[in-house]
Amino acid sequence: MSAGAETVTSIRLPGRYGALLAAALCLQIPMTARAEMPRTASEGISAGHFVLYPSVTFEYTDDDNIFYRSEETPASSVIGSGIFVMRPRLMVDLPIGTGKVRWAYSPVYRKYQSDSFRQSNRLSHFFDLEASRSGPVLSVRATDRLVRGTLELQEVDQGGEVVFGVTPFTTHSPELEFTVKAGARSGLSLLPRYSTVRFDEQGQAAFFNYRRKEIEGRFNHAISEPTQLYAYYAIDRTDQEREQIIFGDVSLEAKTFGVGLRRTVNKEVVTSVSAGYKSIHFRRGSGSDFAGPVLDANTTWQVGDATQISLTAGRQAYQSFFVNNNYYIDTEANLRLLQQIGQKTFLEVQVGQQNNAYADFLDISVTPDTAPGLDCNSTTPDPMGNPVCVGDGRIDSYEAFAPSVGRRRRDQVGRVVFGIGWQPVRSLRLFIGYNGERRRSNIEQLSSGQVFDPFDYSVNRIVFRIEAGWL
């Protein structure tokens, strides 16, 4: 996960500590890459029919490994840098009868202090839209997220296979939800989704352009007023665009079914759990298909007025770019504690563990889809005197991974966050903390006669943040 990741949540809490703990939720450094519409605990500024929430965040991070580089890498040093970030945000609410429309725009300016990193683009843009309207029979909800970024790779690679890149990209993810009531407690929902990722220079990107189309159907049943149980079935198709014709362009078709539970308090989701079974069939590519259980859980407990505990857990299969693997399974769990200290101060602690398991044994052999010239260890003249490639049966660009041939890749990532926040007045918050991660893998690479693990690294960051405005 890149250092620029951001996830914002908020829950209305009881008692005198509620407002400060709710505000503290907006300061978290996320363990997972789940983009959500920004929330606020402020009343905002009334401007006719609109309610405005302007704010600005200034952040300084001292990062000791900005490239997520392994200390084992030959002839390259781990580089640290100070990072200055300025993040203004304008959020606008428009109440409309029984519904509401919310827009949010946040440009992010990021500057690295180290001369070792020449940034291609210092500015990223985040646009979010959420609209909903409830009727006696039909309810409609629409969301949209548009990101123009560079370093925020969690937007395109949720499982964290790729952690650093500098190629500008655009991602767009609209979603609709139509719900029809079918009795006092039941209903039917239809959720079409679409997402696309485009890199400016595909050949220089660490990932691939892709398009995803999905449609999901749900049967909903209200167990109680705040708690809803549902059964779902979803189908989706994803198309990659690989410019390197080694394994060919890869597309996938997936089907998922399962059950879920949502619990809402004061219009905020405090529990969201879904568990199901997913199958993925890949077209082209040389790897295997996936079939197995999937899970996505996020729940929060209020332990008294001053303590809140949150747990997120998940198991998902994500498309992979690594050599001959079509996918990897991402399994993770994260625990977060918020503790109120006095009237204006809170303590935050997070711990998390993530495991990525790849499906197939590493194989760098030439395939029928491998373009001529990608295996060319030497040349020999043909009868006409033209050079002809002579290969060894292995793809040249992957030969550095020869020490790991026949091995299934496994990655483990541990993360920790702790810090203290202070809110002297309603419109100002300060936070200082530490976040770090340690990644290990079982893949070895050969370079300059040395064998090393390119995916073994640690990152330590000290973060100081100031937020001001209508938060």
For every one of its 471 residues, what pLDDT tens digit does the chain have, with 9 covering 90 and above?
333 333 333 333 334 444 454 444 444 334 444 456 677 777 889 998 999 999 999 999 999 999 998 888 877 678 999 999 999 999 999 998 888 999 999 999 999 999 888 888 899 999 999 999 988 899 999 999 999 998 888 888 888 888 888 889 999 999 999 999 998 899 999 999 999 999 887 666 656 788 999 999 999 999 988 899 999 999 999 988 765 556 556 789 999 999 999 988 766 667 899 999 999 998 876 678 999 999 999 998 888 888 989 999 999 999 888 888 889 999 999 999 999 998 899 999 999 999 999 999 998 888 777 777 787 877 787 777 777 787 788 888 788 898 999 999 999 999 999 999 999 998 999 999 999 999 999 999 988 788 888 889 999 999 999 999 998
At 242 the pLDDT is 64
Query: Which residues, including other chains, have CB under 8 Å from residue 342's CB and lie 6 or more apart?
Result: none
End-to-end CA distance of the chain: 26
The H or E element spanning position 23 is helix 18-25
Tell me how far apart the alpha carbons of residues 294 and 316 are, in angstroms, rounded to a whole number: 5
The residue type found at 116 is S
Tell me how far apart the alpha carbons of residues 91 and 129 are, in angstroms, rounded to a whole number: 10
Tell me how far apart the alpha carbons of residues 63 and 78 are, in angstroms, rounded to a whole number: 11
At 109 the pLDDT is 97
Residue among 270, 258, 253 nearest 294 (CA): 258
Residue among 286, 293, 304, 301 nearest 258 (CA): 293
CATH architecture of the domain with residue range 18-363+406-469: Beta Barrel (2.40)
Query: Which residues, including other chains, have CB under 8 Å from residue 2's CB and lie 6 or more apart?
Result: 151, 152, 153, 154, 163, 164
| Token pair listed for 111 | 């500057």
At 88 the pLDDT is 97
| Token pair listed for 59 | 């952040």
Which string of DSSP letters, residue by residue, matches 202-243? GGG-SS-EEEEEEEEEEEEEESSSSEEEEEEEEEEEEEEE-S
In sequence order, the β-bridge partners of residue 257 are: 233, 277
CA 171-354-1 angle, 5° bins: 35
Tell me how far apart the alpha carbons of residues 255 and 209 are, in angstroms, rounded to a whole number: 22
Q: Which whole-number Å values give the CA distances from 112 to 64, 84, 85, 357, in the listed order?
A: 12, 7, 9, 33
At 101 the pLDDT is 94
Alpha-carbon dihedral of residues 238, 243, 249, 252, nearest 10 degrees?
Answer: -20
Only one residue has tokens 């993770």, namely: 332
Domain ranges of the chain: 18-363+406-469, 364-405
- 15-33 core/surface letters (b: 16 or more CB in 10 A; e: else): eebbebbbbbbbbbbbbbb
The residue type found at 293 is P
